[in-house]
Amino acid sequence: MLRVLIFAVALVFATGAQAANTAHDFSFTSIEGEPLPMAGFEGRPVLLVNTASFCGFTYQYEALQALWERYRDEGLVVLGVPSQDFGQQEYGSEGEIKEFCELTYGIEFPMTSLETVKGDGAHPLYRWLAEELGPRQGTPRWNFHKFLLSPTGEVVGAWSSRVEPGAPEITAEIEALLAQR
């Protein structure tokens, strides 16, 4: 048992890995190619949504932009994470994604670079979400899966693609988090 523990500790130090405690321990690259650390959103709730431009749920961009406009001055961040994981329904480059989102839906909220959101190759934040919530609730099953993160970086909610961004169960959670700020 002691050998296993020593090996595990050595492996952590050798790989530089560390256990993440909150979503703020992770970082993305923005759709513009700049660093996008989640720690930059500390103190603000974040609605994290994996997106795709050619999905049957793409119309939800409109409601995501509306949430952003309604609550951003109170502190909400809507963060779009473009992904090819479900039927290759996204453009192949960040420039194409950004142009589509801005011209078609007037998207102004922050977006990440193209990311993997499920499986072993998933972005580390998405692997952490699966660990925190369990694979059934913590792994997106399709595009426009939504996670709500608290201002301290904990997961407070997850909703499938079928739940609209402006649904009462989502807005109630957002408003409760904003009221605590």
What are the angstrom distances between the C-alpha of 30 and each of 95, 107, 137, 145?
Answer: 11, 14, 26, 19
Which residues, in sequence order, are CB contacts of 47 under 8 Å at separation 6+?
64, 67, 76, 77, 78, 79, 146, 147, 148, 149, 165, 170, 174
Q: Which residue of the set 47, 52, 55, 174 is catalytic?
A: 55
For this structure, is 55 an active site residue?
yes
Active site positions, annotated: 55
